[in-house]
């Protein structure tokens, strides 16, 4: 079997019925669904089987469902004999990366996701009540430095560059009216498209600083283990070297931009050194698309469904 480097997607990759094929195929995955539902107090199988896209869009539901889909794919891969050289997750996916790297067990993982989602949702609601409608939008055709500088120079209050997705894709977040104003500025700078995202808050911006303090306090009550395998953080693209550093990164990421471009540079170098296959472990094609658009020499495979995992396994055997 190939050694894998796992990329775990974040909020926005959710879709009704995702991971149910893995649930049907694996007792381990069914047990994981039960554990996640018990910890969160939400019937996640019912949510994924019967819930609408609008229900899945709510922060608590989204974060739990996306994490469950990623961990289900990871469990299925390990069950079928695959091993992992490194882990990295986009925003929310960082928690799945910490679980893959041995820093978190599954009960702790879903406890953290539940708390994180509640605090982020509460903070977003407070801001929306006080300041108005919030949102996020993808900017296609510009890099992070250009977007950040353009917004700073335009002095538009309430909008920030929040996700450095690739050399040609950046996400901005904040007040909806400020995003609209920023759209015009960025189109004048050469942005080809501006795409509203299915996310319910201004995540990874200073708007979330109010959630950082209580989340940091909660993290200090949790037992993190030392990393058992390589984990690359999407906060700064660096190796997470200790349990304490993992806690610090999880707290920081709520109000700090996602630097996925930096993480991909590190992961590409690791893949080349270790002759590993890069894979998106979770539902959807967001991260494999970003990887492809970044012109990485090593391809990124989607291994988030039962069919995809079995097809790759059979390919490795032939």
Q: What value, to the nearest 5°, has the Cα angle with vertex 124 and ends 108 and 72?
A: 35
Residue 3: partners with Cβ closer than 8 Å, 6 or more residues away: 83, 84, 85, 274, 275, 276, 277
Distance (Å, whole) CA 230 – CA 58: 32
Distance (Å, whole) CA 90 – CA 111: 19
Among the listed residues 37, 70, 88, 91, the single catalytic one is 91
DSSP state, 239?
Answer: B
Annotated active-site residue 178? The verdict is no
* Two tokens, residue 202: 């201004």
Annotated active-site residue 45? The verdict is no
Nearest to 231 by CA among 1, 6, 4: 6
Q: Where are the alpha helices (DSSP H) in 41-143?
A: 44-50, 53-57, 59-79, 93-100, 106-131
Among the listed residues 37, 72, 204, 294, the single catalytic one is 204
Residues with a catalytic annotation lie at: 91, 204
């Amino acid at each position: 079997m190939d050694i894998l480097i796992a990329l775990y997607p974040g909020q926005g990759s959710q879709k009704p019925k995702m991971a149910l094929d893995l649930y049907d195929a694996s007792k381990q995955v069914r047990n994981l669904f039960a554990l996640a539902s018990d910890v969160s107090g939400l019937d996640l199988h019912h949510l994924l089987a019967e819930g609408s896209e609008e229900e899945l869009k709510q922060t608590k539901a989204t974060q739990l469902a996306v994490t469950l889909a990623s961990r289900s794919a990871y469990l299925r891969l390990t069950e079928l004999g695959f091993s992992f050289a490194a882990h990295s997750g986009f925003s929310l996916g960082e928690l799945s990366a910490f679980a893959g790297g041995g820093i978190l067990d599954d009960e702790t993982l879903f406890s953290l996701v539940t708390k994180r989602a509640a605090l982020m949702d509460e903070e977003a609601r407070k801001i929306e009540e006080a300041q108005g409608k919030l949102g996020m939008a993808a900017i296609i055709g510009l890099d992070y430095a250009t977007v950040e500088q353009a917004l700073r120079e335009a002095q538009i209050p309430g909008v920030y560059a929040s996700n450095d997705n690739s050399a040609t894709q950046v996400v901005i977040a904040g007040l909806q009216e400020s995003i609209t104003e920023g759209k015009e500025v960025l189109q004048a700078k050469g942005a080809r498209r501006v795409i509203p995202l299915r996310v319910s808050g201004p995540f990874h911006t200073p708007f979330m600083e109010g959630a950082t303090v209580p989340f940091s306090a909660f993290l200090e009550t949790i037992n993190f283990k030392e990393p058992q395998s390589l984990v690359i953080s999407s906060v700064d693209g660096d190796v997470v070297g200790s349990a304490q550093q993992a806690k610090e990164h999880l707290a920081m990421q709520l109000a700090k931009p996602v630097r996925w471009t930096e993480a991909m540079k590190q992961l590409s170098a690791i893949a080349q050194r270790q002759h590993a296959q890069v894979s998106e472990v979770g539902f959807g094609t967001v991260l494999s698309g970003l990887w492809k658009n970044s012109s990485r020499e090593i391809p990124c495979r989607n291994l988030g469904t039962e069919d995809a995992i079995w097809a790759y396994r059979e390919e490795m055997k032939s």
